[in-house]
Chains A and B, each alone.
Chain A
């Protein structure tokens, strides 16, 4: 590993605090996005299905 990369990852000795903060942020934003889109797509599919059945 190059010295520059090692220094960056070390975050001046605060790596144990900085990286979990960013990891938690990515995880929380991804979780919010994933749950919201999953619910939206499920309802969209179900509504389309019900409307198709109704128009038959």
Chain B
């Protein structure tokens, strides 16, 4: 792991990966939006409102996936104290917060016509709202200390503790009686969604995932450059 987490090697590898990730993300997103708006048929119960699912579901998946990345990177940073792991977690956090906010907003826009309410304090919705506050708390915490190292450690600890929320989000619809429907794609017994809707949804989800990977690489490269800028400025000050 140390070999792959070398900053110089990361810069070389990410420079090679970035254009391909960005290109594939763009293609998948364009295809996904086209299919969701123009090709997918209206649902027999939800009508045209089903189209909201094609942005709501991928953003919900990304909200939890990004937190899993952030929490895992934070655990690596706490155990092995590798600076790239901290940079990965800190670069992922604003993106995860964005996907979570988007998931809550689009879910609310779907909930009003389908459930008759913008918001319900049920287990799934509440646990996703907690996820948003975990992201915001993490971002506030890492910037709350004069010493960035202490901020990173405090944030990493919060991110690791917050991992407990992920299984709660996933299984909330099974453990408690909720307004939110149970899983219909990520099920052991297979998806319950028709292929005409499943494939566009999977293409959109792939587009969202590749978009996240692209931005994560961009932000990590940017953070590494910022660290180098700080080091150069310190060296200038020391040299007088």
Contact = CB atoms under 8 A, between A and B. Distances in A.
Interface of A: 11-14, 17-18, 20-22, 24-25, 28-29, 31-33, 35-37, 39-40, 43-44, 46-47, 50-51, 54
A21 to B, nearest CB: 5
A21 B46 CA distance: 15
Given A22-B55, A28-B98, A43-B225, A37 B49 contact: no
B102 A25 contact: yes
Given A33-B215, A40-B219, A50-B229, A21 B47 contact: no
Nearest to A17: B109
5 contacts: A13-B47, A14-B49, A21-B52, A25-B102, A43-B226
Interface of B: 29, 33, 37, 42, 47-49, 51-52, 55-56, 59, 94-95, 98-99, 101-102, 105-106, 109-110, 112-113, 211, 215, 218-219, 221-222, 225-226, 228-229, 232-233
Contacts of B228: 47
Given A14-B48, A43-B229, A50-B233, A24 B218 contact: no
B54 to A, nearest CB: 9
Nearest to B215: A36
A46 B229 contact: yes
Contacts of A43: 222, 225-226, 229
Nearest to B33: A22
Contacts of B33: 22
Contacts of A25: 55, 59, 102, 106
Given A25-B59, A25-B102, 20 more contacts: A11-B48, A11-B51, A12-B47, A13-B48, A14-B47, A14-B48, A14-B49, A18-B49, A18-B52, A21-B110, A22-B33, A22-B37, A24-B109, A28-B98, A29-B211, A32-B95, A36-B218, A40-B221, A46-B225, A47-B225
Contacts of B95: 32
A17 B110 contact: yes
Nearest to B222: A40
A32 B216 CA distance: 10
Contacts of B56: 21
Nearest to A22: B55
B49 A36 contact: no
A51 B228 CA distance: 10
B106 A24 contact: yes
